[in-house]
Amino acid sequence: MTTTALVCGFLAYALASGASGVNLVQDPSFELGPPRGLDPHDRPWGGEEEGSLAGVEIMQGSAADGTQFARMQYVSGTGSECPGCNQSFLFQRIDVTPYTDYTFSYWIRGTTLVTSGIQIPFLDDCTKYPPPPSDPTRANLCPDNDGDEEVDLGPTPPNYDKEFVAYYDSETPTSNTNWSLISHAFNSGPHSVLYVRWYNVYYGIDHTDIDNVSVVVRGASSATPMLPSSGTLCDLLTSSVAVPTNFGAAWNVLSQTGALLMKTFCPSAASVSASVDYQIGNGSSWQYIYNQGYYWGGSSWIPYTYNCSNLISGLWCVGNASYTRTNVDTTQKQSYLAYICNWEGSSWHCGCHDSACATNYWNLQQFRK
C-alpha cells in the first residue's frame, strides 16, 4: 500500500478531462505571486483603482484557504483615467457553457458590505465605435484606456451600459475576523464569456476580504453535502495534536482554521462490535479524494472503497466521501487512511503533513470511544 505517481497521474487526468466539478476560476485563493496591489491590466485577477495602497491588495495572513486573500479597501486613485477615485473593483474572466446552471461562491469577512455579480462583458475593440449618446464628449466608445474595457462596458448599443446575468447587492460579512461563505446559483444564458466581479466605494479603515472563489457547474459532478451521521464525533487526531510521522494530517494544514477533513462518528456508547461512519472532505469542488482507503486490521492495512455521488474518472470523489465500517471495537484505538488532494492556485497539494506539503503521504485519522 503506497502513494504512487500513478495516483497523481490519474488526478491530473481528471482535472484535464473538464469534469463539471472543476472550478472555472483561475487562482481562486489568490496564491499565485507575492502580496501586491492589483491594477486593471493584471490577469487572471484584475483590480482598481491603482494606488499605494491599491483599491485591491493581495495580502498574506489568516486566509480562508491557503495563506493569501484579496482585500478591497479605501484608495486615493493614482491612475490617469480617474485621479483621486476611491472605488475598489475586483474582477476575473471566466469561460462558460451557454444556458448552463452554475454555483458562484466565495468566502468573505470585513467591516462593510460589497456588491458582487456575474457580468456580461463587452467583447470588441471600443476604439472602433463612436461615443455613446450618454457621453458624446468622448473620443470613442471607450470610457478610458486602462485595461478593463470589457467590464467598463456592456454588450448592448447605443450606450453599452453594464449588464449582468446575476447581481447581488449588499453582501455583508458577519465578522471582521472570521470567514463566512456566500453562495449563489445563476444560469449563463446565451453567453460563453462572463466575469465574476465585486465593487464598492470605501472610506477610512473600512474593507472587505475575499477568498476561495468558485464557479462550478451545478449537477452530477459538483460536490454535494453528506448527510449528517447519527453518531457522535470520536476522533483523536485534530489540529491541536501533532501529526504522526510519515502520515498526512487529518485536518486542513493549508488553512488557518485547521478544519477537520477526516471525521469519525461512533455510537454514543463504546462497543466491541460497533458501526462507525468515516466522512472525508469539506465539500469543496476543488478538493479530490481518492476513492480507496485503508483501515488497520491489527497486522496489516485492509483496503476498502469510499462511497460518493460525484465520482470523477472512476477514482476520485469530489469534495466528499464516506464509508461505514461494521464490527469495530471502539474501546480500542483504531486507525484509517484517506488520500486528500487540494488545488492551491497553481498545483495540487496531496496528503500534506504540514503547510509546506513537500512530501505526499496517506492522511491518517485515529479514533476511540
Peptide bond into 53 cis (omega under 30): yes
233-275 confidence digits (pLDDT tens): 899 999 999 999 999 999 999 887 788 999 999 998 999 999 9
pLDDT at 198 over 90: yes
Distance between CA atoms of 179 and 136, rounded to whole angstroms? Answer: 45
What's this model's pTM, rounded to 2 decimal places? Answer: 0.57
Least confident of 16-20, 80-84, 314-318: 16-20
Distance between CA atoms of 86 and 169, rounded to whole angstroms? Answer: 19
The grid coordinates listed for 7 are 495516483
Distance between CA atoms of 64 and 39, rounded to whole angstroms? Answer: 23
The grid coordinates listed for 196 are 465574476
Task: Please report the pLDDT score of residue 229 as a whole number.
Answer: 52
Most confident of 21-30, 167-176, 280-289: 167-176
Question: Average pLDDT, whole number, for the chain?
Answer: 86
149-184 confidence digits (pLDDT tens): 999 999 999 999 999 999 998 899 999 999 888 888
Q: Cα–Cα distances in Å, from 187 out to 60, 97, 184, 283?
A: 33, 10, 10, 22
Distance between CA atoms of 314 and 306, rounded to whole angstroms? Answer: 12
- What's the fold here for domain 22-217? Jelly Rolls (2.60.120)
What φ, ψ does residue 188 adopt, rounded to 5°? -75, -15
Task: Please report the pLDDT score of residue 2 as a whole number.
Answer: 47
Distance between CA atoms of 360 and 331, rounded to whole angstroms? Answer: 31
Cα angle for residues 175, 178, 184 (degrees, 5° grid) = 80
The grid coordinates listed for 365 are 485519522
Q: Is 127 in a helix, a strand, or coil?
A: helix
Distance between CA atoms of 124 and 361, rounded to whole angstroms? Answer: 49
Domain edges within the chain: 5-12+224-367, 22-217
